[in-house]
């Protein structure tokens, strides 16, 4: 039968190549498969544990995507003074801020939050951090994770908070310092890690930094040390 269907082989190869190209293109774009960890899907940059968002003071309909638990530090292109209001988050901030005042706000829940900045408007969307090798754990699951996996327990709060009580065996590494000190954890890439803070927000930021650095198994204590103590579990000083 040779020569009866002379273009079948070429056609099959062409179709296969097209399918492969479409597949690779879908992978490159991140698709809609809940891979919210894609660098292109999330706005801003991380600086000392804060997500920095740069607003355009003249644009309407701006859209930002961040992770639930992020601490956001707003800035404006050009460095002009501005007032940011995010009513659903209770945010009403004037920049530059007074000396000693906070320059950031936290976003503890997932959702869509409209904002205004003078004449500028838009939305900040907070999504859950999803990634292979990462999971949120309840207090009970966190306790079991410690028993079953002997993880590196990482406290990413401040030194003062740590001194007031921490999980037994925890290592203090404040989220503000984590980026520049990731090398200290290079020897623990394959060791499970349990990360916690006060209520599970800073630890979400820290978890992403570790996952991006190549750590294979990272668990975030969703309700932090507050939930741990409310469950009657022990802390040490």
Query: What gap in Å lies between CA 108 and CA 88, rounded to an integer?
Result: 12
Do 72 and 115 form a contact (C-beta atoms < 8 A)?
Answer: no
Nearest of 213, 218, 131, 215 to residue 179 by alpha carbon: 213
Phi then psi dihedrals of residue 40, to 5 deg: -75, -15
Q: How far is CA 149 from CA 62, 68, 219, in A?
A: 44, 26, 11
The span from the CA of 71 to the CA of 207, in Å, is 14
Residue owning tokens 């349990």: 194
Catalytic: which of 91, 126, 154, 197? 197
Tell whether omega for the bond before 118 is within 30 degrees of 0, i.e. cis.
no
Q: Which helix (H) or strand (E) holds 28?
A: helix 8-29
Nearest to 63 by CA among 3, 135, 112: 112
Q: Is 27 a catalytic residue?
A: no
CB 88 within 8 A of CB 126: no
Q: Compute φ and ψ for 165, nearest 5 degrees.
A: 140, 135
Which residues are known to be catalytic? Answer: 197
């Amino acid at each position: 039968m040779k020569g009866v269907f002379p273009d079948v082989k070429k056609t099959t190869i062409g179709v296969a190549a097209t399918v492969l190209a479409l597949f690779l293109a879908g992978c490159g774009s991140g698709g809609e498969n809940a891979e919210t960890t894609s660098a292109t899907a999330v706005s801003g940059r991380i600086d000392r544990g804060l997500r920095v968002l740069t607003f355009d003071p003249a644009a309407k309909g701006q859209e930002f995507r961040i992770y639930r638990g992020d601490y956001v530090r707003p800035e404006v292109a050009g460095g002009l003074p501005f007032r940011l209001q995010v009513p659903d988050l209770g945010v009403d901030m004037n920049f530059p801020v007074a000396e000693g005042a906070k320059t950031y706000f936290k976003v503890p829940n997932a959702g869509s939050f409209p904002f205004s900045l003078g004449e500028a408007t838009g939305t900040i969307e907070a999504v859950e951090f999803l990634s292979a090798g990462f999971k949120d754990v309840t207090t009970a699951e966190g306790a079991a994770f410690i028993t079953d996996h002997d993880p590196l327990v990482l406290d990413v709060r401040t030194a003062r908070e740590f001194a007031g009580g921490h999980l037994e065996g925890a290592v203090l590494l404040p989220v503000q310092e984590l980026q520049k000190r990731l090398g200290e954890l290079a020897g623990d890439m394959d060791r499970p890690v349990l990360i916690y803070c006060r209520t599970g927000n800073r630890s979400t930021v820290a978890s992403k930094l570790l996952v991006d650095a190549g750590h294979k198994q990272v668990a975030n204590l969703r309700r932090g040390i507050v939930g741990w103590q409310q469950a009657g579990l022990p802390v040490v000083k």
